[in-house]
Amino acid sequence: MPPELHEIEERIAKASHAMDNDPYLKGTKAAKQFGAPYERLMARRRGRPPSHSRGGQNKKLSAPQDDALKEYILMLQYSGRRANIYEIRAAAGRLLFWSSGDPNSSVSI
């Protein structure tokens, strides 16, 4: 996480802690006092986690499979062939099939 985002999250945490300690402290005043973005402060108070902690929900390939796909694309590039989206999608589908054995598993563009 970049340092700026880390600092913002720290300010949000401090403002939220201050609001927990003082039930009469409003979100706008806490955000202004600690220099935290009001919308993010209120979103964290409602339970929404920061975006860096949420993973990709549409990720089907594991890290080694993803690395193998990248190597395949580089191999095509070095051999003088351009990898188009259809070849990449087919290669990703083959990786999924080899790992799961499910012929219905597929990847989206």
Does pLDDT of 42 surpass 60?
yes
10 pLDDT more than 60: yes
Is 90 or 56 the better-scoring residue by pLDDT?
90
Global pTM reads: 0.51
Distance CA 48, CA 39 (A): 11
What are the pLDDT digits (tens) for 80-108?
988 888 888 888 888 888 877 766 666 76
Band (pLDDT 50/70/90 cuts) for residue 72 is very high
26-36 confidence digits (pLDDT tens)? 999 999 999 99
Secondary element (H or E) of residue 67 = helix 63-78
Q: Which pair of tokens denotes residue 6?
A: 């880390």
Check residue 41 and give its pLDDT: 94
